[in-house]
Chain A
Amino acid sequence: SQTIHQWPATLVQPVGSPLSLECTVEGTSNPNLYWYRQAAGRGLQLLFYSVGIGQISSEVPQNLSASRPQDRQFILSSKKLLLSDSGFYLCAWSVVTYGYTFGSGTRLTVV
C-alpha cells in the first residue's frame, strides 16, 4: 500500500539553528512531492513542489529550501531559522489526477 512518512512530529528549535525535515513515500514510483506550511490560525501555503529527483520549484520567497535526493525522499531545510518559520509543516504526494495524500505533519516552534 502507499504510505507517506514524515518526521519528527514536533520540534522546538532556537532562532538561528538549522532545520532538516524529512518526508518519504512508500509504495509508489515517481510521485510529485509537495511541502506545505500552515502558520497558527492560517491556511495552508504551498512552499515547494518536485516532479522528479533534483527538480525543485519554489512557490514563495523564504528562508527555507527543499531537496529531493531520491525518488521518494523530500527534504525541507533551513540554514538559520527565524521566528516566522514556526508552523505546521506538511508533506504531500500525488501520482494520479486526484487525491493528494498528506503526511501527519511536523509542528515546528522556533524560540
Chain B
Amino acid sequence: DAKTTQPPSMDCAEGRAANLPCNHSTISGNEYVYWYRQIHSQGPQYIIHGLKNNETNEMASLIITEDRKSSTLILPHATLRDTAVYYCIVRRGGATNKLIFGTGTLLAVQP
C-alpha cells in the first residue's frame, strides 16, 4: 500500500473550516484514500473515503486532486469535539485488504 505524508499538527479556530492535507504521491490506480480520526483514548472512527471523485457526507468533505497525488479533508465548521488525530490512509479496495495507520495529524480546535 502507498504511504502518506501528513503534517504532525494543525490548529483551527472553533466554527471555522479545518482543512487537513495529505500527500500520497505513489498511490496506485486501484487504491482508495481513507480518512479516520481518533479522539483521545478511543478507537478510530471512520470519516470518509474516495477513489477519484470528491466526496461529501454528514461529517466531512474529501477533495482529491486530479492526479490523485494529494487530498484534503475538510471539516466545514470545526467544534471542540473535533480535536483528534486524523489519519489519511491509502488502501486497495476489498474487505481483505489491511488498514495500515501512519502517524496522522493532531488537529487542535481552539475556542
Contacts and interface: CB of A to CB of B under 8 A. Distances in A.
Given A43-B102, A43-B104, A44-B101, A102 B43 contact: yes
Most chain A CB inside 10 Å of its own CB: which residue of B93, B95, B96, B100: B95
Interface stretch (B13-21, B44-52, B73-81): B44-52
B10 interface: no
Most chain B CB inside 10 Å of its own CB: which residue of A46, A59, A94: A94
Contacts of A12: none
A105 B41 CA distance: 8
B95 A95 contact: yes
A61 interface: no
Contact of A102 (B44, B98, B100, B103): B44
A104 to B, nearest CB: 6
B23 to A, nearest CB: 17
A104 B43 contact: yes
Given A32-B96, A97-B93, A102 B49 contact: no
B43 A103 contact: yes
B46 A101 contact: yes
Interface string A84-97: 00001010101111
Nearest to B103: A43
Most chain B CB inside 10 Å of its own CB: which residue of A92, A102, A103, A107: A102
A13 to B, nearest CB: 19
Most chain B CB inside 10 Å of its own CB: which residue of A44, A45, A96: A44
Interface string A39-72: 0000111100101000000010000000000000
B111 interface: no
Nearest to B36: A100
Contacts of B99: 34, 46, 92, 94, 100
Interface of A: 32, 34, 36, 43-46, 49, 51, 59, 88, 90, 92, 94-105, 107
Interface of B: 32, 34, 36, 38, 41-46, 49, 93-96, 98-104
